[in-house]
Amino acid sequence: QVQLVESGGGLVQAGGSLRLSCAASGRTYSTYFMGWFRQAPGKEREFVAAIRWSGAGTYYADSVKGRFTISGDNAKNTVYLQMNSLKPEDTAVYYCAAHPQGSTNYDYWGQGTQVTVSS
């Protein structure tokens, strides 16, 4: 019902910046939260950031606070993740996800985009 496509990943040096985009389509009017998650090699998927789609509320993992900023453009049905002061430990596949109203889970996921931060 909701389709998500991430873009903007790539290779960047430590201390650099990268901006990820997630374009949503389908029944986006029922979306409660849009979120970003990441999975590093050999690690479990972890929460990065989320935004309340109907308002301005944002949430961040402690590991990225002060460095990453999540934002959304409702008119374009797009959510962004601005990543500054990148560290090698930020290297992961980053996934966009949609949490529908009436659900307790992020039910829809994008294909992921690779972010690699070199030392």
Judge contact between 61 and 49, C-beta under 8 A.
yes
**Residue 42 tokens, joined:** 């050999």
Q: Which residues, in sequence order, are CB contacts of 21 under 8 Å at separation 6+? A: 6, 7, 8, 78, 79, 80
Judge contact between 4 and 23, C-beta under 8 A.
yes
Query: What local confidence, expressed as pLDDT, does residue 4 receive?
Result: 96
Query: What local confidence, expressed as pLDDT, does residue 115 receive?
Result: 98
Query: What local confidence, expressed as pLDDT, does residue 53 receive?
Result: 86
Query: What local confidence, expressed as pLDDT, does residue 54 receive?
Result: 81
Query: What local confidence, expressed as pLDDT, does residue 45 receive?
Result: 97
Greatest extent of the chain over all pairs of C-alpha atoms, in Å: 43
Judge contact between 115 and 9, C-beta under 8 A.
yes
Query: What local confidence, expressed as pLDDT, does residue 99 receive?
Result: 94
- How many residues does this entry show for the chain? 119
DSSP 8-class letter at 62? T
Identify the residue whose tokens are 């049905």.
77
Query: What local confidence, expressed as pLDDT, does residue 19 receive?
Result: 98
Query: What local confidence, expressed as pLDDT, does residue 102 receive?
Result: 87
Q: What is the mean pLDDT of each run of 10 residues along the chain (119 residues)?
A: 94 98 87 94 96 89 98 92 98 96 92 97
**Residue 78 tokens, joined:** 């797009």
Identify the residue whose tokens are 């901006």.
19
